């Protein structure tokens, strides 16, 4: 039986029943009661799955065959990954199709979008992250004064160490509009500031909160922050760490040459 054309649709139609069987052998009566469906529906589903070789009669009811269990676990993993990507679609649609962004960054993440009743919620989530963090590595393609204020507060209170790599346009705006703030943070020993030689594809931070690291992805559009994604899975953090270090290695010492900040 072809997997893609027959097995996957079969699993998709009977996912709730299969999830019950993934927990162990179940009788038809138990399945009907747990899923709140008729016994005849259970009979048909089990018969179809048994014909396909996915389940078989066992002591106490029905359970997976080895092939069925392995295929279902692959289907389950794919479904979870696909659900994460679908949830992030609105955020991803703001980025070019060739953006360097593997699925591991998205899978298992939490995404916050601005809504008509809460347009600043993504910004609020990121400010919360800044206030919790002990250390932050930042690559910025744009800058929000609210974030600068949050970084300043934490750095001057001695609660945060920040490495910030800024795109040339962001570096210019920070030097022009927030030079005094940058001087304060550098003098306090909590800020290392550099100008990026290359513009990263998006803004993001790596935040260390105790023993946990978080990737925070900030995607901007013409009207501000389009979405905010947070992921603490090791795969996501590893990608962001490699990306940050790659860009950080190709930065220009800054603000040493900019009197607006260094004077």
* Spatial distance between the Cα atoms of 63 and 56, rounded to a whole number of angstroms: 6
Average pLDDT, the chain: 91
The residue-averaged pLDDT of 67-74 equals 95
Beta bridge partner(s), residue 231: 215
Comma-separated ranges of CATH 1.10.10.10 domains in the chain: 3-83
Q: Which tokens belong to 197?
A: 């030689």
Q: 165 with 248: CB under 8 angstroms?
A: yes
Instruction: Supply the pLDDT for residue 260.
Output: 54
**Token pair 């020993």: residue:** 189
Q: Which of 97-106, 185-194, 246-255 has the lowest mean pLDDT?
A: 246-255
CATH architecture of the region 3-83 = Orthogonal Bundle (1.10)
Instruction: Supply the pLDDT for residue 263.
Output: 43
Comma-separated ranges of CATH 3.30.870.10 domains in the chain: 88-262
Give the contacts of 159 (CB within 8 A, at least 6 positions apart).
134
Residue 199 — φ and ψ, nearest 5°? -85, 125
Q: Which tokens belong to 24?
A: 């162990």
> pLDDT tens for residues 5-55?
788 899 999 999 999 999 999 999 999 999 999 999 999 999 999 999 999
* Spatial distance between the Cα atoms of 248 and 27, rounded to a whole number of angstroms: 59
What does CATH list as the number for 88-262? 3.30.870.10
């Amino acid at each position: 039986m072809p997997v893609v054309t027959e097995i996957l649709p079969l699993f998709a139609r009977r996912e709730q029943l299969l999830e019950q069987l993934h927990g162990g052998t179940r009788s038809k009566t138990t399945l009907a009661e747990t899923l709140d469906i008729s016994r005849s529906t259970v009979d048909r589903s089990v018969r179809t799955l048994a014909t396909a070789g996915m389940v078989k009669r066992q002591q106490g009811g029905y359970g997976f065959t080895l092939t069925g269990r392995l295929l279902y676990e692959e289907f389950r993993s794919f479904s979870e990954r696909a659900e994460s990507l679908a949830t992030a679609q609105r955020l991803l649609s703001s980025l070019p199709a060739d953006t360097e962004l593997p699925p591991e960054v998205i899978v298992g993440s939490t995404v916050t979008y601005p809504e008509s009743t809460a347009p600043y919620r993504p910004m609020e989530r990121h400010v919360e992250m800044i206030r919790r963090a002990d250390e932050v590595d930042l690559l910025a393609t744009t800058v929000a004064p609210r974030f600068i204020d949050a970084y300043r507060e934490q750095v001057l209170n001695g609660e945060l160490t920040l490495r910030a790599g800024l795109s040339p346009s962001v570096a210019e705006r920070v030097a022009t509009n927030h030079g005094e703030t940058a001087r304060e943070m550098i003098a306090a020993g909590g800020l290392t500031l550099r100008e990026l030689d290359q513009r990263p594809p998006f803004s993001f931070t790596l935040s260390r909160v105790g023993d946990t690291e978080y990737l925070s992805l900030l995607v901007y559009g013409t009207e501000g922050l389009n979405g905010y994604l947070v992921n603490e899975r090791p795969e996501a953090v590893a990608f962001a760490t490699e990306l940050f270090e790659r860009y950080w290695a190709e930065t220009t010492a800054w603000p040493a040459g900019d009197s607006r900040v260094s004077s």
